[in-house]
């Protein structure tokens, strides 16, 4: 007799998800897989981000299961190239594989402008940032933790080529996703009044 599927909590409302979105470290993630249907929900949310000129430049490569090892090998090689080495040593490769296994899902994020772009690259990259934020908020609403990483290996030319992106594509890092272990981490912010000026009269 198969086990009953685990009950899913109701999604959080938007403002609660905004307040409670937190970065959760890799070592605090559960190995529990994220269903493909849930990942498609998150990617569909990202697909509704704003973009100037309706260019929709966001691109994602999703790594799950043993597919994560391809990402690990790519990043390990990029790390070696940053150090002036052609290939990673066995210890580096092993460490990268262990790191990728800590999160059940990894996304490579990229901005791909049109062949004849009408918008400057920075606007395309900002649109991708909006898509990533939308995805992370949707993830929080469904009880999934995330972190956006923009370290050197994730942005390296070898990473771009190895993942099949063309010359005009700019990598924008990695996002990992996973269910947190234990209590959801609390956050805090300084008062918004300290960061806002109001202009009410000419």
pLDDT at 127: 96
150 is in an annotated binding site: yes
Per-residue pLDDT of 143-176, as tens digits, reads: 999 999 999 999 999 999 999 999 999 999 999 9
Q: Which helix (H) or strand (E) holds 147?
A: strand 145-149
- pLDDT value at 1 more than 70: no
H-state helical runs in 50-151? 67-82, 90-101, 121-141
What average pLDDT does the segment 125-135 reach?
Answer: 96
pLDDT at 35: 96
34 is in an annotated binding site: no
Q: What is the pTM of this model?
A: 0.89
What average pLDDT does the segment 72-81 reach?
Answer: 97
184 is in an annotated binding site: no
What residue ranges do the domains of the chain occupy?
14-63+103-181
CATH number of 14-63+103-181: 3.40.109.10
126 is in an annotated binding site: no
pLDDT at 6: 57
172 and 182 Cβ atoms separated by less than 8 Å: no
pLDDT at 4: 47
């Amino acid at each position: 007799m198969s086990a009953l599927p685990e009950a899913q909590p109701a999604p959080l409302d938007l403002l609660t998800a905004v307040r409670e979105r937190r970065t959760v470290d890799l070592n605090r993630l559960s190995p529990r897989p994220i269903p493909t249907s849930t990942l498609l929900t998150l990617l569909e949310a990202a697909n509704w981000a704003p973009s100037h000129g309706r260019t929709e430049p966001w691109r994602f490569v999703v790594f799950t299961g043993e597919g994560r090892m391809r990402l690990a090998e790519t990043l390990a090689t990029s790390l070696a190239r940053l150090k002036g080495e052609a290939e990673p040593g066995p210890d580096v490769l092993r460490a990268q594989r262990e790191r990728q296994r800590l999160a059940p899902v990894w996304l490579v994020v990229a901005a791909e402008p049109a062949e004849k772009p009408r918008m400057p690259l920075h606007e395309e990259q900002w649109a991708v940032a909006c898509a990533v934020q939308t995805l992370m908020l949707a993830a929080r609403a469904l009880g999934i933790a995330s972190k956006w990483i923009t370290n050197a290996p994730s942005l390296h030319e070898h990473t771009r080529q190895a993942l099949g992106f063309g010359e005009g594509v700019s990598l924008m890092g990695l996002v990992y996703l996973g269910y947190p272990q234990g209590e959801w981490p609390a956050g805090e912010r300084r008062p918004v009044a300290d960061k806002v000026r109001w202009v009410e009269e000419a």
